[in-house]
Structure 1
Amino acid sequence: MKKWLKQISVIGTLASIILTNTQVFAEQQGVSSSLAVSALPYYASADFTPHWLSPDSVELANFHRVSDFSFIDQDAKHVSQNDMQGKIYVASFFFTSCPGICPRMRSQLSKVQAQFIDDNKVSIISHSIQPKNDTVQVLREYADKNGVVSGKWHLVTGERDAIYRLARNDYFANEDLGEYVSKKDFLHTENLVLVDVNRHIRGIYNGLNNTSVGHLIEDIKTLRSEL
């Protein structure tokens, strides 16, 4: 009995140490311990350094946000930041004729679509990096072939410069954790980017990895619970 009580005491001490360390970390970051445990970080640069901020932090007033955008999806409908207002969305980059990572990423994004199919506060935007070839008609055929649901998952095309500028400057999509990529090149990234209702980046995930996409789904639920 004494041995059992001693084990309980040790466990309680360890739990107390963990909680204390969490509180110290939270205080150092300027947020409460509950936010440090439950909320997601914010990202503002290509090195994806996490910033632990409370939702009402004054720092967020000038924090990195995804810029205004306007593209056309597979239904020939304009999709802009206004359509994403009040929504959580996942951003990705692809092209319809891609034989490599795109089919695998599409399969993973299909899981996200299925998980939130009835939730109008969650969307997916996949940007074509070959907009000249990926016309509305091509995107429509691709969507029909691959079970992409209109209104939930937008396959978008538009001006190449606008897509690449958004990718480079806003989603950091052509950066490989700081590796230099020339302006003429585009790194076909497997990253999926989670964006909250205020157009802040809240997570970056490997779109080829089951576990990472599982984390993405759970993080969407976390953001969803905050609405």
Structure 2
Amino acid sequence: MKNITSCLFLLLLFLSSCQSKKLPILGDSDVVKKIVDGKEVEETVYPVIPDFSFQNQYGETVTAKDFDGKIYVADFFFTTCPTICPPMKRNLLKVYKAFQDNPEVKILSHTIDPDHDTVPILSTYAKDLGVTGTMWQFVTGDREKIYEIGQKHYMVSAREDSSEAGGYIHSGHFVLVDKNKQIRGMYDGTTDEGTKELMKDIEILLKE
């Protein structure tokens, strides 16, 4: 009997370890009341990335609709950044190469220096990285709208700061967004460890 109990315990541990990890939904949730079948019920509502309109490296307009039903990684950078951007882009290249053949995954990089980072500059930048197609899009647009969506919705820093190298301050995080445009994870984009965790979590979302 003791051996059977031990085997059952080990089996439960094994099954537990095989269960898929469930990623949290990040951001401040809200509880709303709604009527369902004539009864009032409460529902937890999580924030979503709102609509946006920017231009990518091909001069095409990119909106939130282009990411409907997609899992994507968002980040903020500028092409002349002398500090964290180079390692971040090297790490995003790993993500790009791992998922470039999967139509459900995209990458969205926002410049925080739109005056300098015009469409031709972003086009050259993408080509220098070896990026082709629209899986990874580098976007520019109205400065204040970029800062607003970064700080208010992606929950990262993105603004001018004359005291910082290059004149701007921005987060080194990669932001993982699910098919419902909800944030499901934030990762240190300057490290191999953070990038590996991001890629593992993308795989989890693909199975959700």
Q: How does 1:67-106 map to 2 (within 5 A)?
A: 67-106=50-89
Alpha carbons 1:124, 1:153 under 8 Å: kept: yes
TM-aligned CA deviation for residue 148 of structure 1: 2.0
Q: Which residue of 1 aligns with 2:157?
A: 174
| Alpha-carbon distance, 1:146 to partner | 1.1
Counterpart of 1:190 (choices 172, 185, 188) is: 172
Task: Provide Cα deviations, 1:71-126, integer angstroms capped at 9, x if missing partner.
Answer: 00000011111000010000000000111110100000000000001111100000
What's 2:124 paired with? 141
Aligned length: 185
- Cα distance in structure 2, aligned partners of 1:149 and 1:87: 18
Contact kept in structure 1, 2:70 and 2:105, CA below 8 Å: yes
State yes or no: 1:200 paired with 2:182: yes
TM-score normalised to the size of structure 1? 0.74
- Is the contact between residue 88 and residue 121 of structure 1 (CA under 8 Å) also seen in structure 2? yes
Judge conservation of contact 1:88–1:195 (CA < 8 Å) in 2.
Answer: yes
d(CA) in 1 for partners of 2:115, 2:86: 20
CA shift digits 1:160-180 (9 cap, x unpaired): 0100000011011118xxxxx
> Is 2:71–2:179's contact at 8 Å kept on the other side of the alignment?
yes
Identity over the aligned pairs, expressed in percent? 38
**What stretches of structure 1 of length at least 5 have no aligned partner?**
23-33, 50-56, 176-182
Q: Is the 8 A contact 1:173 1:187 kept in 2?
A: no
Residue in structure 1 matched with residue 113 of structure 2 by the alignment: 130
* Alignment-mate amino acid for residue 108 of structure 1: N
Q: CA RMSD in A?
A: 2.6
Paired residues for 1:33-44 under 5 Å:
38-44=21-27
Structure 2 residue matching 1:154: 3-state secondary structure:
strand
Indicate which of 136, 145, 150 corresponds to 1:153. 136
How far apart are residue 187 of structure 1 and its match?
3.5
Give the superposition deviation at 1:63: 1.2
Cα distance in structure 2, aligned partners of 1:184 and 1:156: 17
Q: What's the TM-score once normalised by structure 2's chain length?
A: 0.80
Q: How many Å apart are 1:13 and its aligned residue?
A: 5.3
Deviations 1:6-61 (A, max 9, x none): 8x94x965886x79xx8xxxxxxxxxxx6xx522110015xxx9xxxxxxx942xx
* Consecutive aligned runs of 4 or more in structure 1 exceeding 2 Å deviation: 11-16, 183-187
Give the whole-Å Cα distance in 2 for the aligned partners of 1:130 and 1:184: 8
Q: Does 1:211 align with 2:193?
A: yes
* Contact 2:160–2:169 (CA under 8 A) maintained in structure 1: no
Contact kept, 8 Å, 1:94 with 1:102, in 2: the verdict is yes
Q: For residue 104 of structure 1, what is the amino acid of its counterpart?
A: P
Distance 2:75 2:157 in 1: 11
Q: Is the Cα–Cα contact under 8 Å of residues 27 and 183 in structure 2 kept in the other structure?
A: yes
Structure richer in strand, relative to its length: 2
